[in-house]
Amino acid sequence: MKKKLVFEIGTEELPSSCLYEGTQSLKNILSDKLEKNRLEFSKIETFGTPRRLIAIVYELNNVQNSLEKIIIGPPERISFDEQGKPNQAAKGFAKGIGISVDELEKIPTDKGIYIGKKLFEKGKNTVDILPEILNEVIYSIPFSKQMTWANWQIKFARPIRWILAIYGEEVLNVEIESLKSGNLTYGHRTLCSNPFKINNSEEFLKILEEKGNVVVDGEKRRELIKTQIKKIEDKYKENKIKVVINKDLLDEIINLVEIPNVLIGNFLEEYLVIPKDILIKAIEYHQRYFAILNEKGEVLPEFIVVQNGISDKNGEIIKGNERVLKARLSDASFFYNEDKKHSWENWNEKLKGVIFYSKLGSMYDKEERIRKICNKIFLDLNKNNHGIPDEILEFSTRASMLCKTDLVTNLVVEFPELQGVAGREYAKERNENKEVYEAIFEHYLPRFYGDVLPQTTTGIIVSIADKIDTIAGMFLAGVTPSGSEDPFALRRRALGIVLSLLENNFNPDIKELVKFSVDLYKEFLKFNEEKELKIICDIVDFIMARFKFTYEKDEKRTDIVDAILETGEFSLISISQKYEAIIKIINDGNMEEISMPMIRCKNIIKNINLNEEVKPDLFKEEYEKELYEEIILKEKLIKNLNSKNEYSKSLNLLIDFRKKVDNFFDKVLIMDKIEEIKNNRLNLVKKAFNLYMLIADFSKIIVVQ
């Protein structure tokens, strides 16, 4: 027989992030444990509200599957002595599985007869084993932040206050320290004071929702909020208003309420002088309200609040929230007006007192470094014929020296989330060029995985410069990401650099850029050349790892990227173009034409230290001379093609190169008796190898048959 299991962990108010973590882990851990215990079910759903995590297991078998297992030991022929008595091998095996030798059985297999034991374990009743499973589940749910309470030993996101566990009609006995489970659940904290008795697992959700005023499903709460907001949009102002639904905010709000009720309130029009984006953030940030726009996209003096309840019948809730928002906006407008009295110079003076990171100078120093890196990027790009107008250099210089400045404004000190936004708005008000003010905001992009990238040329350059500078500084300070720890989001920053370069076809040499950036820290830190070289390599590897990550994500081949990186190519665009060219060769079935001869060269010269020039006057055979001349010719051609990014043509030249290599290996004996000639031939092979290395180390490319 199959029945439903309901399992509820009642808690004090869980933080939103714990709900996401908790419901996910509860589902995974419970289904894993049920499967391990041979309990069949059709599906598991988990839900969370601020006061509970719930798991529903549908069609859970009322008995555990029986276990039939055959343990096979040694072959029969080696298990008995001459008298036919079990020998050491048999005894050892029996002991190992905890039975006596008499219990051993003969097990026929494909390979002959073995000794062994057939085990049969009858399935237990589900109700008898569930309590222990559920107990283990509670102890296994991991939270990124955990706590203890009173004298309890268990760690959980917030204190556990009740546990409900019912299988069909049977109440299960789960014990956690002094707490025993039962058939009682609690409704909404202020709407229903007494607990409800649940008679069977089928009625649980219904009672909780209808009597308890709890909408258990977060997605349903999201829909309820959206529907109610839509209603308000339709009702007010003839449908010409639009509520700004910030997705992150909504994700959080659905987890702050057990039942949502959307209310609309007002604030004084005088606060509308605050620039739009600052005003919206001030509405959203502390209080978790939604802002409302009119048809022109201007902020209206109204806001949306989601109440944890069903009604505001005396209007006191909205009145209270209006009062709080008024105070917040009065703060924001006070700070905004105070900020008007300051100049950039003024703020930058203050910025000198804000530490970027211990021993890495101030935020002002950081702006200076960003400025220098921008200059370097600009020159590099134009060296590669990117044709970036000179004014961009001027804009990026200006934007560099303003990009962190808003950190000391009153507004950002009060609302840290406004960093970049306040700077942009203040720069706009102060008549900076659009490239400059957009860059102040954009240089923080992407702020999270999947966020938008900077769009203005200045924004892109400043963003890359800022990120390289942070990564270089943190690597020098020894704060590098490890495992899941990445406190300064260096991986996101590195990925941001990679994505911006790829999106815009910018092709600076990453290694040079990193070296330049690391060198800028010499003013702040002492480090020797050895450390510098190591740090530069580490950072380049780190950035390249993000680059490879984007390839992996697109299911592209990272072995090819590794093959290209092997040549010391550190320009992402060149790498991706080489990649495409190589893929084409592979698809045409020509890869072996290049990789086979190259591997042949590599095998000959590996482990030999060769760095001498080839001496043509030592050639004795026609084929070595031919090979040499071919290398000289092709080297010139390939270098020229590579500089124009025409890698496919380069590769075709390499395909063509094979016959000369083959001829050489087939017709010339490298290991000549005369040392000098032998060495010259080895150097020639090395030179041939290096020709391939103008594109990639093809020996690293995995050939798929």
Stretch of residues binding other proteins (CB under 8 A), selected from 149-157, 386-394, 451-459, 675-683: 149-157
Please identify which residue in 159, 195, 301, 481 interacts with other proteins, judged by CB under 8 A: 159
Q: Which is nearer to other proteins, 283 or 684 (CB)?
A: 283
* DSSP-derived 3-state class of residue 142: coil
Q: Please choose, out of 55-63, 305-313, 638-646, 695-703, the segment that lies near other proteins by the rule CB under 8 A.
A: 305-313
Cα four-point dihedral sign 254, 259, 262, 267:
negative
Residue 179 or residue 293: which is nearer to other proteins going by CB? 179
341 binds other proteins (CB under 8 A): no
CB of 425 to other proteins, least distance (A): 23
The set of residues, in sequence order, having a beta carbon less than 8 Å from that of 619 and lying 6+ positions away, is: 625, 628, 680
Our CA dihedral for 485, 487, 489, 494, rounded to 10 degrees, sits at -70
Place of tokens 């990550």: 549
- What is the token pair recorded at 16? 């939103």
CB of 331 to other proteins, least distance (A): 8
Minimum CB distance to other proteins, residue 334 (Å): 8
Distinct helix (H) and strand (E) counts, the chain: 24, 16
Exactly one of 324, 489, 573, 632 binds other proteins (CB under 8 A); that residue is 324
Which residues inside 189-218 make contact with other proteins, applying CB under 8 A?
189-191
Is-contact 103 117, C-beta < 8 A? yes
Strands of 76-233 (E only): list them: 105-109, 112-121, 160-167, 170-171, 175-176, 179-180, 184-185, 196-197
CA dist., res. 560 & res. 576, Å (int): 10
Distance of CA 443 to the CA centre of its chain: 20
Q: Residue 15 Cβ, how far from other proteins at the closest point, in Å?
A: 4
**Is the distance from CB of 115 to CB of 90 less than 8 angstroms?**
yes
Distance CA 268, CA 284 (A): 17
Q: How far apart are CA 32 and CA 137, in angstroms?
A: 10
- Among 185-193, 209-217, 438-446, 496-504, the segment contacting other proteins (CB under 8 A): 185-193
Output the smallest distance, CB 479 to other proteins, in A. Answer: 16
Q: Give least dist CB 547 to other proteins, A.
A: 36
Residue 405's CB is within 10 A of a number of other CB atoms, namely 26
- Helix (H/G/I), strand (E/B), else coil: 674: coil
CB-CB contact of 48 with 19 (8 Å): yes
Torsion of CA 479, 481, 484, 490, to 10 degrees: 100
Query: What is the identity of the amino acid at 96?
Result: G
Using rule CB under 8 A, residue 346 touches other proteins: no
From residue 643 to residue 682, what is the string marking binding to other proteins with x (rule CB under 8 A)? Answer: ----------------------------------------
Q: Bridge partners of 182?
A: 164
Q: Select the span of 31-39, 55-63, 350-358, 453-461 touching other proteins (CB under 8 A).
A: 350-358
Restricting to residues 5-64, which ones interact with other proteins according to CB under 8 A?
Answer: 12-13, 15-16, 50
Judged by CB under 8 A, the stretch of 335-343, 348-356, 589-597, 621-629 that binds other proteins is 348-356
Indicate whether 112 belongs to the interface with other proteins (CB under 8 A): no
> Of 261 and 382, which has the nearer Cβ to other proteins?
261
Stretch that binds other proteins, among 24-32, 145-153, 421-429, 451-459 (CB under 8 A): 145-153
Q: Phi, psi (5° rounding) for residue 52? A: -165, 150
Tell me the window of 54-62, 119-127, 150-158, 469-477 that interacts with other proteins (CB under 8 A): 150-158
Of 353 and 389, which has the nearer Cβ to other proteins? 353
Cβ closer to other proteins: 360 or 440? 360
In whole angstroms, the minimum distance from the beta carbon of 523 to other proteins comes to 17
- Of residues 38, 124, 161, 211, which one binds other proteins by CB under 8 A? 161
* Binder among 84, 108, 110, 153 for other proteins (CB under 8 A): 153
d(CA 510, CA 517): 10
What is the rounded CA–CA span in Å between residue 119 and residue 101?
15
633 binds other proteins per the rule CB under 8 A: no
Q: Give the interface segment with other proteins, choosing from 187-195, 214-222, 570-578, 580-588 (CB under 8 A).
A: 187-195
Structure tokens at 60: 């859970």
Nearest to other proteins of 252, 566 (CB atom): 252
In the bound complex, what is the minimum distance in angstroms from residue 22's beta carbon to other proteins?
13
Q: Determine if 409 is a binding residue for other proteins (CB under 8 A).
A: no
Provide the CA 360 distance to its chain's centre, in angstroms: 27
Helices 558-565 and 529-553, packing angle to 10 deg: 150
State how far the Cα of 397 lies from the Cα of 377, in Å rounded to an integer: 12
Report 239-268 residues binding other proteins (CB under 8 A): 256
- Shortest distance in whole angstroms from residue 151 CB to other proteins: 5
Stretch of 300-308, 571-579, 648-656, 686-694 contacting other proteins, by CB under 8 A: 300-308
Residue 297 tokens, joined: 């996209």
Backbone angles phi, psi at 113, to 5 degrees: -90, 135
The torsion of the CA quartet 622, 625, 627, 632, rounded to 10 degrees, works out to -160
Interface stretch with other proteins, choices 293-301, 317-325, 501-509, 546-554 (CB under 8 A): 317-325
**C-beta closer to other proteins: residue 188 or 493:** 188
Question: CB neighbours (10 Å) of residue 609?
Answer: 6
**Which residues of the shown chain bind other proteins in the complex (CB under 8 A)?**
12-13, 15-16, 50, 145, 147-153, 158-159, 161, 189-191, 256, 287, 305, 307-309, 312-314, 316-321, 323-327, 330, 353-355, 358
